[in-house]
Structure 1
Amino acid sequence: MEDGYFGESVAAGYDESSAEMFEPGAVNPAVDFLAALAGDGRALELGIGTGRIALPLAQRGIPVHGIELSRAMVSRLRAKSGGDAIDVTIGDFSATRVAGTFSVAYLVYNTIMNLTTQSAQVDCFRNVAAHLEPGGCFVVEVCVPSLRSLPPGQNVFPFHVSATGWAYDVYDFATQAMSSNYVRAGGELRSIPFRYVWPAELDLMAQLAGLRLRERWQDWTRKPFTGESTSHVSVWEKPATAAEVVEHAR
C-alpha cells in the first residue's frame, strides 16, 4: 500500500481518534522537552504524521523537517495553519535521507514499533545517527510491552471496550511481532502490525549506531523511569568529539 497502514481512510479521522494526544497536557511537555534539546538547531521528526508535535515545535521558532510514508497524513498536515511551511520528505524513515544535519531527531507515540523487524529498527538508529550533528540527540517515546499484564498461556491483551467497538493487541513472543486490532460495531476490523521493543534492546541498537544513552524518563515531564513504568522517553546522544567516539567504542 502506497501509504502503508495510514492511508486516506485512517488519516481522515486520525486526529479525532487520537484526540487525547492532541490535548495541551499531552503536547506541551513533549514540545518543551524537544525544544530544549533543539536549542538553536534544527529538528527532524520521523513519522511526522499530521503535525501534532511538529507544528507547535515550529511555532517556537525551531526549523522542523519531517519524514513520512503516508501522503494522506501529510495532506492533513498541509491543511493546518503553518503546515505548508514545514518541509516533509516522503519515504521510509528507517532509510530515507534528507539534506543537512540536526541537533535533535525524534520518534514519538510508539512510532518506532511501526518498523516491524529488528533490522529495520537498527537501520533507523543508524539513519538518525547519520543525520545528527556532533552532540545531537535522538529521542524516542515508546511503551514498555504489556506482557506482565497477560495471564500464563494468553497472548491477547484487550485495551479498549465500548458500546461502539473494542480493541486488542496480539503478541508473538518468539518474534516480538504484535498487532493492534480494532473492531467496530457491525464487524469492521482494522489490524496494524508492529514490533515491540525493550529499553535495553533500544540501547544496544543505539550503541550499534554510535550513540550513547544520555537519559531515560517515564514521560516527558521527567518522572523517574522504574520497573513499574508503562512507557519511557529515552535520549541517546551522538558523541561530540573524536575522542568521545573512541571512548564510546571501548
Structure 2
Amino acid sequence: MRQEDIWDADTAARYDTPGTGMFAPDVVGPAVDRLAALAGGGRALEFAIGTGRVAVPLAARGVPVTGIELSQAMLQRLREKADEAAIPVVVGDMATATAPGEYTLVYLVYNTISNLLTQAEQVACFRNAARHLAPGGRFVIELEVPDLRRLPPGQPAVVFAAEPGYLGVDTFDVLQQHLVSHHFTFDPLITGDRQARVGRSPHRYIWPAELDLMGQLAGFDLESRHADWRGTEFTADSPGHVSVYRTAGKPVSSGP
C-alpha cells in the first residue's frame, strides 16, 4: 500500500473540513502560534505539507513557508489556496527530497512521520531535516503516543472512534510496530443504506524514547516536549506530544 495511492484525488477532496475537525481554529491556531514563534523570524519547511492546513495560516502570519509533498492530489488542493510564489513545494518523499535554501524550522504535524513504515526511513527523515536546517535550527514533530494499553491481551484490534456515521478501528502488528487505521464511513448519500465506505492508512508507531534516539543519530538534541501545542506538561498519560529538537551550533534565534 503506497502512500501516493492512499492520498489520491478522492481522499484529498474529502480531507479538508474547513472550520471543523483538525481544521478547527482551536486545533490549528495553537500550532500556528507555536511554529511562528519557533521559526524566530526565519524560513520554515513543512514535510508532507498536504493541502496546507498549517502552512497557509503560518504563511499568513508572515513566516516564509516551503513544502515537500509526495501526493500530487494533495498538492492540487493546496494550489487552490496558495500559488507556487506564495508557498513553493517540492514534489517528493519527505525522507529524501531536497528543498532549496536553508531554514530555521522544519516541522511535521499530525503523526505524519508514522507514514514512513520502516525505522530506517524515519531516521532518514530526521537526517533530511538536519540537512535543511541552519545551525541551531529546530525540527518539530507532533506525534501520538502508542496506545497499546487499550489493546486487550491476545487481540490485534481496538476501536478508537465510534460516532454516528463513522467507525474507526486500529489493527496492530506489535512485532513490527505497525498499525493500520481502518475508517468506516456510513453515508447513505454516498454509499447507499447497506454499504460503508472503507479507507485504510498504514503507520509505523514510534515510542518517545525511540524518537529521541533517531534525533541523536541525526545530530539533534531534544529541546522540549509537551503534551500539545499549548505547552501542557507531558506525562505518562499524555496521548500525544509535540517534540522540539535542535541542531548543534549557535542558535539562530532565542525562541520560546
Q: Provide the TM-score with structure 1 as the length reference.
A: 0.92
3-state DSSP class of the match of 1:85?
A: coil
2:17 partner SS: helix
**Shift of the alpha carbon at 1:162?**
3.2
The alpha carbon displacement at 1:3 in A equals: 2.7
Helix, strand or coil at the partner of 2:74: helix
- Does the 8 Å CA contact 1:135/1:239 hold for their aligned counterparts? yes
Instruction: Extract unaligned runs of 5+ from structure 2.
Output: 187-194, 251-256
Distance 1:150 1:120 in 2: 26
1:219 equivalent in alignment to 2:228:
yes
Q: Which residue of 2 aligns with 1:246?
A: none
| DSSP-derived class of the 1:11 partner | helix
CA contact (8 A) 2:18 2:24 kept: no
Within-5 A mapping of 1:1-250: 3-16=4-17, 19-80=20-81, 85-185=86-186, 186-241=195-250
Give the drift of 1:187: 3.7
Describe the SS at the equivalent of 2:167: strand
Change beyond 3 A, Cα 1:215–1:2: closer
The answer (yes or no) to whether the contact 1:46–1:106 under 8 Å persists in 2 is: yes
The answer to whether the Cα contact below 8 Å between 1:11 and 1:76 also exists between their aligned partners in 2 is: yes
In structure 2, how many angstroms separate the alpha carbons of the residues matched to 1:21 and 1:163? 18
Residues 67, 89 of structure 1: 8 Å contact kept: yes
Contact 1:77 1:83 in 2 (8 A): no
Q: How well do the aligned residues superpose, as a CA RMSD in angstroms? A: 1.7
Q: Secondary structure at the match of 1:222?
A: coil
Instruction: Deviation per CA, 1:16-37: give whole Å up to 9, x if none.
Output: 2993111111111111111111
- Which whole-Å deviations, capped at 9, do the CAs of 1:194-242 have from their partners, x for residues lacking one? 100011000000000000000000000000000000000000000115x
Q: Measure the CA separation in 2 of the matches of 1:193 and 1:141.
A: 17
- When residues 133 and 199 of structure 1 are mapped into structure 2, their CA distance, relative to the original with a 3 A threshold, is same
What is the percent sequence identity of the aligned residues? 49
Change (3 A) 1:122 1:167: same
How many residue pairs get aligned? The number is 241
Go from structure 1 to structure 2 and tell me whether the alpha carbon gap of 1:72 and 1:84 turns closer, same or farther (over 3 Å shift).
farther
* Pairwise CA distance, 1:83: 7.1
The answer (yes or no) to whether the contact 1:113–1:194 under 8 Å persists in 2 is: yes
Change over 3 Å in CA distance of 1:119–1:237 after alignment to 2: same
Q: Return closer, same or farther for 1:31/1:164 CA change in 2, 3 Å cut-off.
A: same
Partner SS state of residue 49, structure 2? coil
**Structure 1: which 4+ aligned runs deviate by more than 3 Å?**
81-84
Deviation per residue, 1:125-152 (Å, 9 max, x gap): 0000010100100000010011011121
Matched residue type, 2:200: S
- What is the Cα deviation at residue 78 of structure 1? 0.8
Is this contact kept in 1: 2:19–2:25, CA < 8 A?
no
Counterpart CA distance in 2 for 1:231 and 1:4 is 27
Equivalent residue, structure 2, for 1:245: none
Matched position secondary structure for 2:53 = coil
User: What are the ranges of 5 or more consecutive residues in structure 1 without an aligned counterpart?
Assistant: 242-250
Higher relative contact order (CA 8 A, sep 6+): 2
Q: In 2 relative to 1, CA 81–93 (structure 1 residues): closer, same or farther, beyond 3 Å? A: closer
Distance 1:132 1:119, change over 3 A: same
